[in-house]
Chains A and B, each alone.
Chain A
Amino acid sequence: MLVADNLVKKFGNVAAVNGISLSLKPQEVLGFLGPNGSGKTTTMRMLTGFMNPTSGSVTMDGIALADNPIAVKSQLGYLPEGAPLYLDMTVLDFLKFCGEIRGLHGAYLRERLDISIGLLQIEEVLGKRIEALSKGFKRRVGFAQAILHDPAILILDEPTDGLDPNQKFHVRQMIKQLSATKAILISTHLLEEVGAVCSRAMIIARGKLVASGTPLELCKLSPHYHAVLATAAPSVLKLLRSAFVGNPLVTGVEEVRVNNKLTAIRLLNHQPAELLAAVNQAARAQNWVFESLLLEQDVLDDVFRRVTGGDGRHA
């Protein structure tokens, strides 16, 4: 288990990371979310031993990174931001180098090479120089390097950033597959990633933890979670609005406008099932036609904006 306790990193007088603590357990995929520049990469650099924290500590299974960096680093697989690689090497030479410098050799090295190469599906580019590879293949090679030594912990800094949708899907599938045996920390600013792969997520802003929990728990932080969202013609929406303002089930009404045209009404509430039934009943009685009527589920972007100050309240 990887534990970070109260990590602080200051550059001059500016604290890029200001008191982040986390623990990463086996078979867990922890999403590390935050706007660009919020301290995700700096935190990961401290977790992997690349940077020393100004204060705070990192331990793995009770061993402090500061006391025994080599023992801790040998159990970590790391994909740095942008997946930097030695461009002048061929894929196979690069992976062999990574294995050998980690002390793998002989039959075990060959076995681990076969497994990693197979998992990342990079057989066809093994003899190519890395500089000639596409972005997607480069990322896969970086990934292969990170899992080559079968580490207990994987730390992946924005593993899907800049990939096309197919490549993103493939990487996420792989993260899920690997999570069966490993503890994985991934940083991202893509919210869809959290629902897709993470069992738990932490949101940081300005170097501090601002929210954490399972994706569902995080969604519940938004008043939009399980709001009734009705999309219809403006005339219908106005009728809906006047009918439900003041209804005891409704705690708030928000208008959704696109190009200043009213396109939807959001009814905030604490009893979604009852409210949805009431809206349906009113629609039948009044012959309202909705383009869609649904309970909002995927509201992480709203949570993200609220807790990171992206809604202007903290700006």
Chain B
Amino acid sequence: MLNRQKFLSAIGNFFADPVFVLIRRELNAYFANALAYVFLIIFLALAGTMTFTIGSFFERRLADLQPFFQFHPWLYLLLMPALTMRLWAEERKLGTHELLLTLPINLSTAVAGKFLAAWLFAGIALLLSLPLWFTVNYLGHPDNGVILVSYLSSWLLAGVMLAMGSAMSALTKNQVIAFILGVFLSFLFIASGSPIVLGFLQSWAPAWALHGLANLSLLDRYDQMTQGVIGLDSLLYFALLIYLFLQATIVIIHLKKTA
């Protein structure tokens, strides 16, 4: 009995934590206007279209979700900055950051709460694509382990891009600029290992720099992960990027409100 009480009170404490209160507010804010629904519809429509057209889902005659996952980085390139552009830019434009940051919470709590809400929302979007997984199982015998890993990888990639978008949103009051900066930064990290970028640099950049740049690429690591190859270094790299860009968000907000 006592343990049950302890458990319930622990749950109560968790939901009363400022981070959770903030996540709830932010998630409600997404659904309070059309943004959430527009986002979900666009994500599902684009992901579906790409899977069945460019991805040749049926023509491949393979029971897997590779055609679905392979376009996520490019889809996220536009959709994740759209999700994060308002995070801090809107707060600064309305002046509500003055209200938020004079509440008895740490700046890191505020940054984490807003980021986690966006990440959970991206998770909801991914979950809404589950019927595709069921369909593949109905049509054949896919490797469900790989699909599960792919879902987690996609969510992790979304997290990295949301953290980048969060930092870019902290830089400006203007949501459009926040969006463009977010797209640009994400593109740098996605495309840094692509043949186009490497080919462009090959003529003058030293080999070690090219190698380093190729290693920064999110695309390579993501492709490996969606094929079921999870390296600890890739997981750490994604986690490190999320951490670094959230720290950058904290520093930017701190500098902006003081300057």
List chain A positions with a Cβ less than 8 A from chain B: 11, 45, 48-52, 69-71, 73-74, 76, 78, 80-82, 84-89, 93, 97-98, 100-103, 105, 129, 145
A-B pairs under 8 A by CB, number: 69
B109 → chain A closest CB, angstroms: 9
Binding site secondary structure of chain A: loop
Contact of A84 among B21, B95, B257 (CB under 8 A): B95
Distance, CA A76 to CA B32, complexed state (A): 30
Indicate if B205 sits at the interface (CB-CB under 8 A).
Answer: no
Distance, CA A145 to CA B18, complexed state (A): 16
Contact of A45 among B21, B98, B103, B259 (CB under 8 A): B98
The answer to whether residues A100 and B21 also contact, given A51-B258, A82-B95, A89-B32 and a CB cut-off of 8 A, is yes
B259 surroundings in chain A (CB, below 8 A): 11
Distance, CA A88 to CA B105, complexed state (A): 22
The answer to whether residues A101 and B22 also contact, given A70-B105, A73-B103, A84-B96 and a CB cut-off of 8 A, is yes
Distance, CA A263 to CA B205, complexed state (A): 83
Indicate if B16 sits at the interface (CB-CB under 8 A).
Answer: yes
Distance, CA A76 to CA B104, complexed state (A): 9
Closest to B94 in A: A84
Closest to B92 in A: A84
B29 surroundings in chain A (CB, below 8 A): 86, 88-89
A98 surroundings in chain B (CB, below 8 A): 103
B94 surroundings in chain A (CB, below 8 A): 84-87
Indicate if B102 sits at the interface (CB-CB under 8 A).
Answer: yes
Indicate if B99 sits at the interface (CB-CB under 8 A).
Answer: yes
List chain B positions with a Cβ less than 8 A from chain A: 16, 18, 21-22, 25, 28-29, 32-33, 94-96, 98-99, 101-106, 257-259
Q: Which of B103, B106, B257 has the most CB of A within 10 A?
A: B103
B28 surroundings in chain A (CB, below 8 A): 89, 93
The answer to whether residues A80 and B98 also contact, given A70-B106, A101-B103, A102-B104 and a CB cut-off of 8 A, is yes
A52 surroundings in chain B (CB, below 8 A): 258
Distance, CA A52 to CA B253, complexed state (A): 13
A87 surroundings in chain B (CB, below 8 A): 94
Contact of A74 among B21, B99, B104 (CB under 8 A): B104
B62 → chain A closest CB, angstroms: 44
B104 → chain A closest CB, angstroms: 4
- Offer 20 A-B interface pairs, CB within 8 angstroms, sorted by A: A11-B259, A49-B101, A50-B98, A50-B102, A52-B258, A70-B104, A76-B102, A80-B99, A84-B96, A85-B94, A86-B25, A87-B94, A88-B33, A89-B29, A89-B32, A97-B21, A98-B103, A100-B16, A102-B103, A103-B104
- B99–A73 contact, CB under 8 A? no
Q: Which of B25, B95, B99 has the most CB of A within 10 A?
A: B99
Distance, CA A87 to CA B102, complexed state (A): 18
3 A-B pairs with least C-beta separation = A84-B95, A74-B104, A73-B104
Closest to A155 in B: B102
- A78–B106 contact, CB under 8 A? no
Contact of A85 among B99, B103, B106, B258 (CB under 8 A): B99
A76 surroundings in chain B (CB, below 8 A): 102
B257 surroundings in chain A (CB, below 8 A): 50-51
